[in-house]
Amino acid sequence: MIALAERNVPRYTSYPTAPHFTAAVDASTYAAWLAALPADATLSLYLHVPYCVEICLYCGCHTKATRRSEPLDAYAASLIDEIGLVAAVLKARRLVHLHWGGGTPSILGRDRLLRTVSAIAAHFDRSGLIEHAIELDPRCTDAALAAALAEIGITRASLGVQEFSPHVQQAIGRIQPFEVVRDAVRALRDAGITHINIDLMYGLPGQTVADVETTARLAAALEPARLALFGYAHVPWFKANQKVIDTDALPGPAARIEQARASARTLAQHGYVAIGLDHFALPGDDLAISQHAGRLHRNFQGYTTDSADALIGLGASAIGQLPQGFAQNAVDIAGYARAIAQGSFATVKGIAVNADDVLRAAIIERLMCDLAVDLDQLPNRRTGAPVALPFAQELAGLEPLASAGIVEIEGRRIVVTAEGRPFVRLVAAAFDAYLPQNRSRHSIAV
């Protein structure tokens, strides 16, 4: 189990995964893909804001520290221009999901957020909007911000908590006592934003099983509708801020497995249903209902009820997912802003998907969402009829996982066991045709 937990595999928030994106997809490809979407297609918008007040030591996101208003003014202007560029080529107008991620998107403040949402409203139809979500830093969430978020129509807020123990907060450079998070949740609820998510983390420096249990208990006491529990990915060669983290203080693979299980157990004791690999929800939440109905999806934001026909990524590093493939904007803010100012999309890479990719993506998504897939019941995207393909090599590749008790293979139906849930990425990896070339570029499985 420990050897398996140490294997490098993708998180499968997309398939093919981002390391396989190439410059073959550029701004003109992306423009053609957008233009080909039918007028009745439903849309989801993801807006990435790559700024924070300060950088946490453990952060793995595309973000930069700023306390000045000029970069934020310029960035909001670029986002507004990009919204106009997208609207100019798209025929589709029906928005169903809006999601702000980062970074700390609320760093834009009331006026810039309002201007950006007004630009969206000017071009798109929001009357069918199911959810308008934002990721928040509890240290920056007060009554004034909560009122501004309610004003722009936010319906769901995700708070980055990670861990409540003071010694772990010290080790990751993010000091936010329980009271800070409690007050942020109160401010949001008082403003009418009642759908609250909390993000937790295990595998952090100095973290113990007792720490994750206490954190899960305190987080559950705030009664969020959903929680996410991520394993810390230590990649200092990729994120320089992580170099300050003491590698010797990081829990080893056995401790990580124990922490993931202890946290999940504590959340289950407080009434939360496990969703896929790393999410938890109250039984009445849409995520739990979608999972029960086999309608859960997975995209770059993790598990979601979003079933839009296309996900449009806006902002530096944002990734769009269209029927034809994936397209990613320039990661560097200056390069992104330059392209948008010139009236061009900022797409720098992506991948066009073929029929094999689409089929494997469906298998991987069902495994990640339902923890089971029947290889004889995969629908043909064109006709809707079930397709049966051999996948003999992939099934043979799952045998070591079956021997370890991670999966059960019943004929051509693959079921991840309760014990195997933390290892579901390994099961999905058996169907990843790109993985053998690129294993070292992913984080460890648990």
**Residues lying near ligand SF4 in the complex (CB under 6 A):** 52, 55-56, 59, 61, 63, 102-104, 137, 160
CB 311 within 8 A of CB 46: yes
Q: Which is nearer to ligand SF4, 135 or 286 (CB)?
A: 135
Which C-beta is closer to ligand SF4: that of 56 or that of 274?
A: 56
Q: What's the length of the chain?
A: 446
> Would you list the DSSP string of 6-58?
TSB----SSSS-GGG-BTTS-HHHHHHHHHHS-TT-EEEEEEEE-EESS--TT
Q: Are 329 and 316 in contact (CB under 8 A)?
A: yes
Q: Nearest distance from residue 55's CB to ligand SF4, in Å? A: 4
CB of 172 or CB of 367, closer to ligand SF4: 172
Helix (H) or strand (E) holding 322: strand 319-322
The smaller minimum CB distance to ligand SF4, of residues 165 and 291, is found at 165
DSSP state of 444: B
Helix, strand, coil abundance in the chain, percent, nearest 5: 40, 20, 35
176/291 with CB nearer ligand SF4: 176
- Residue with Cβ nearer ligand SF4 (205 or 325): 205
The Cα–Cα gap between 128 and 106 comes to 24
How near is the Cβ of 56 to ligand SF4 at its closest, in Å? 3
> Please, what is the minimum distance in Å from the beta carbon of residue 363 to ligand SF4?
32
Shortest spacing between CB 411 and ligand SF4, in angstroms: 44
Q: How far is the CB of 26 from ligand SF4 (least distance, A)?
A: 28
3-state secondary structure of 387: strand
Identify the CA nearest to 104 among candidates 171, 142, 48, 149: 48
DSSP string of 131-160, one letter each residue: EEEEEE-GGG--HHHHHHHHHTT--EEEEE
In the complex, the smallest distance separating the C-beta of residue 141 from ligand SF4, rounded to whole angstroms, is 12
Rounded-to-integer distance, Cα 231 and Cα 9, Å: 13
**CB of 185 vs ligand SF4, minimal distance in Å:** 17
Between 63 and 266, name the residue whose CB sits nearer to ligand SF4.
63
Q: What token pair was written down for 10? A: 């993708």
